[in-house]
Chain A
């Protein structure tokens, strides 16, 4: 029976994996070999930890682990794109068009999926005589690719588990009291010497609790708020481009069905502000909640069951990336829309 054989093989692999883990546990921790079966994950705080401090004279630039992860994700993305580009450029023009193969096929599928998504969400709006979907594709597709890649990257083993000792803040050095004691004065000079000699502070003295080296970039409210602010500012800019400055204000005031015209202006202003909050809080809440959920699940359950939650979170992270970009497109389409009176005027001529 083929089914029975596959089942036995799967069972055998699981038993061998468990035995190997126990063996490694016995090698590393001879007196408590089952330590490898429990994961002591660090449940993250909403405020991310600073792991690198760059001192340039009196200026200090702290870099959090979320920012570090986002730089890392961007670097990997750039490398992937360059590799894809190189492998596509190797083929001749004809081969590329007539027989897309391998990496080119995947890239084309991804881009087609994104442009269909955006053109579907943007509808039939036009801006500067071009379809809206194509016009906003660079920005919104970038948001989508960054969000989904950063989110999925955070499910790779190693995120939130590799910990480092965070460097102390410069305030700790200045906080030493300037009293007339000989030894305190010597200590102060010593720590000041440390602060001014080294420019880059990784992995400091470890007086604070250990911090994970890598953390999901979107689990930092600042990063999601940055993207949300960019999206909403672009909405206003495109609305102004389409309707003109006065026209856009009129559009905000009167774009409502029937009897509500004229009093919609404050409501629209507030709803634009709430778009910033909703976009950023939605992404942050999902990512941070996902991090906490995974940390707790890995802490509570056996080594194999949490894999299910990794899969669930992967699906939800995809949904969040999709939602962010589609909502941005919908907001832009609503701000740019309502140009029907202009189109009628053109058609009448």
Chain B
């Protein structure tokens, strides 16, 4: 099971952490969610992560005030994946990953 958010995060070597930050929107408020799977859940989380098309940068959406999503995967101190998506681009495997992270950890406001 994913573990609750702690402040002692990616410093610990070998930890697998997925961070989702939602920013923008009309209000410009940011929220962050973070999942840190335990060893039993790691294969499933790795599969969720690797099913996302990290290298295919989606075209920017039209419009304004859409949410912007930043999705990061850290292994220990190393950021192994990062993507920025507009709200309308969070679909398919991205939507699955984001929903899993949001369910795994309560949100917290981001300190700017």
Chains A and B form a bound pair: no
